[in-house]
Amino acid sequence: MNYQRYKRIPEVDLPDRKWPSRTITKAPQWCSVDLRDGNQALEVPMNFEQKKEFFEFLVKVGFKTIEIGFPAASETDYNFCRDLIDGDLIPDDVAIQVLTQSRPHIIEKTMDAVHGAKNVVIHLYNSTSTLQRDVVFGFDKKQCTDLAVEGARLIKQYIDEDDSGTNWILEYSPESFSSTEPDYAVEICDAVLDVWQPTPSNKAIINLPETVQYTLPNVYADMIEYFCTHTKWRDSIIVSVHTHNDRGTGVASSELGILAGADRVEGTLFGNGERTGNVDIITLAMNMMMQGVDPKLDFSNMNECVDIYEECTGMHVEPRHPWSGKLVFTAFSGSHQDAINKGKKAMEDRGADIWEVPYLPIDPADVGRAYEPIIRINSQSGRGGIAYVMEQYFGIMLPKSFLRDFLKVIKEETDRNETELLPQQVFDLFDDYYINVASPYGLNTFTEHYISDKMSEVDAVITDLGKEVEIKGQGNGLLDAFVRAFGDYTGEPFSIEMYNEHAMKSGTDSAAITYIEIKRKRDGKIFLGAGVSSSVTKSSVRAIVSAYNRMINN
């Protein structure tokens, strides 16, 4: 790795930083930039109908500011802006936001594009970093500031002359803020604000983008706090953050930016955007919710969010994308499965209102997901996962001895096929190995006769390799009598070591299941079998036959 070609971005001299001791207690103002920053990063940009559907969905989940495009740079964006306004498609409590460079003809067309809208954020920007000033534009700080100030003057002039009744909100971004000298970022933003003259009751937005991530999130937070404590306009501005994800820390940068004083966040759903994308607002909002903070956005139907996003953008939500991927509430590990199962049971037993389940930071139901996908059975699964699937899907509560034994069966099957097992496949394996074990012996009929309170006699008809045979025996109750009769006939004596039964839950055709452990007398080995029937007596006798067949076959 040729690491010598790169240098560390200087850190901020901020010895009295306050943000590390703060917590996020309320949601910021949100601004979706899906239809501009996100859309321009698509291989195939959205068409009008897709943008309209996406806009309506953003309104539905609760966004009050939506950046809809760069009207002067694209006829598509210009026409979309006009269609929203002329079609009266923008709710009264929603502001559209449009981007403009600090160039006269671009500002003019931008103002024309939004004429007549109820609420508009005019988003002015120019790049301010040392590298951009030197390499791209070839000018010094004064020229850079003059460019921003001139754009601010033009916008203010248009607004002062406007008589349409529009509620104007002004926003300025020193693009590449995170690569700009902190003191100069304050200087250029204050110069723009000197033109706009915001007040505490009529604030402007200063957006401080991490246009490209070059450093750790804590350094970005230092820059935000430095700006907040050094600008002379702090009580008259809304400080906004706009982070990208080049280093994979877009969410962390925005969260620390909020701690450092930011009031507002710009981002996209699922982090769509240039290069590695923008910050994912869904992740930010869900991170707040799982800390007990109302995010003021509604992502309770996550499947709908995914469907709309994928349909409109042509992008794909990764299976492990935070909070929204199809595998994020899925546990493969056996220890995780066991902990989830125990956590859910503990909550039910306690009647708890606060969600506390190991490995599940939130209740999947709170984002419209079902519990069924939580447990998946593969070669890495453990007894807890098997117990969960059998109980939740089929009402079967396996004793520990059965779980231990069945786990071996599961691992052999999944290793052999190199795949996971669906719940029905798990049940079918259990059925084949423990319930429907009908060879060499089968059970046709049996009748119990009471001899005394402590003695019973059983007459039964069994099959031996398909041939019917009558057997008879006496014992201390039905099962003991049947064991004696069966052992006498086969010449392989055995005894019952464990008996357990329970009623099965709804969703199955049978009412009861019995679990039996038998011990072969000649060597003391234990074998398991189960029986299912609407009668507990029948299920018990069937379980003995299944266990005996497993003993003979092993």
The pLDDT tens digits of the residues spanning 216-250 come to: 999 999 999 999 999 999 999 999 999 999 999 99
Instruction: Give residues with Cβ within 8 angstroms of 4, minimum separation 6.
Output: none
What are the φ and ψ backbone dihedral angles of 353, each rounded to 5 degrees?
-95, -30
Confirm if 483 and 475 have CB atoms less than 8 A apart: yes
* Calpha distance 424→303 (Å, rounded): 24
Confirm if 61 and 269 have CB atoms less than 8 A apart: no
Residue-wise pLDDT tens digits, 134-181: 898 889 999 999 999 999 999 999 999 999 999 999 999 999 999 999
Split at pLDDT 50, 70, 90, the class of 274 is very high
* E strands, 453-538, in order: 455-464, 467-475, 494-503, 512-520, 526-533
pLDDT at 507: 47
* Calpha distance 455→476 (Å, rounded): 5
Q: At what angle do helices 141-161 and 182-196 cross, to 10 degrees?
A: 30
* Calpha distance 456→474 (Å, rounded): 6
- Mean pLDDT confidence for 465-475: 94
Can you list the alpha helix ranges (DSSP code H) found in 173-301?
Answer: 182-196, 217-230, 250-259, 281-289
Confirm if 47 and 35 have CB atoms less than 8 A apart: no
Residue-wise pLDDT tens digits, 372-416: 546 678 888 888 888 888 988 899 999 999 999 999 999 999 999
> CA dist 391 to 125, 515, 516, Å?
59, 15, 18
* Calpha distance 534→518 (Å, rounded): 23
Split at pLDDT 50, 70, 90, the class of 509 is low
pLDDT at 277: 96
Considering only CA atoms, which of 419, 425, 337, 331 is closest in space to residue 379? Answer: 419
Confirm if 443 and 407 have CB atoms less than 8 A apart: no
Confirm if 420 and 373 have CB atoms less than 8 A apart: no
Q: Assess whether pLDDT exceeds 90 at residue 303.
A: yes
Q: Assess whether pLDDT exceeds 80 at residue 87.
A: yes
- Residue 392: how many CB atoms within 10 A of its CB? 18
Residues forming CATH 3.30.160.270 domain(s) in the chain = 441-553
* Calpha distance 242→208 (Å, rounded): 6
Confirm if 95 and 113 have CB atoms less than 8 A apart: no
* Calpha distance 434→530 (Å, rounded): 5
* Calpha distance 93→375 (Å, rounded): 43
Q: Residue type at 499? A: Y
* Calpha distance 38→35 (Å, rounded): 6
Q: Residue type at 197? A: Q
- Residue 272: how many CB atoms within 10 A of its CB? 20
Residue-wise pLDDT tens digits, 13-39: 999 999 999 999 999 999 999 999 999
Q: Can you give the three-state secondary structure of 9-56, one letter per residue?
A: CCCCCCCCCCHHHCCCCCCCEEEECHHHHHHHHCCCCCCHHHHHHHHH
Residues forming CATH 3.20.20.70 domain(s) in the chain = 28-309
DSSP character string of 362-375: S-GGGGT--SGGGB
pLDDT at 9: 80
Considering only CA atoms, which of 200, 240, 215 is closest in space to residue 12? Answer: 215
Tell the CATH topology of 441-553: Double Stranded RNA Binding Domain (3.30.160)
Tokens of 432: 């084949």
The architecture CATH gives domain 28-309: Alpha-Beta Barrel (3.20)
Confirm if 195 and 153 have CB atoms less than 8 A apart: yes
pLDDT at 510: 54
Residue whose tokens read 């240098």? 7
Q: Residue type at 470? A: E
Can you list the alpha helix ranges (DSSP code H) found in 2-100?
Answer: 48-61, 75-86
The helix/strand count (H/E) of the chain reads as: 16, 14
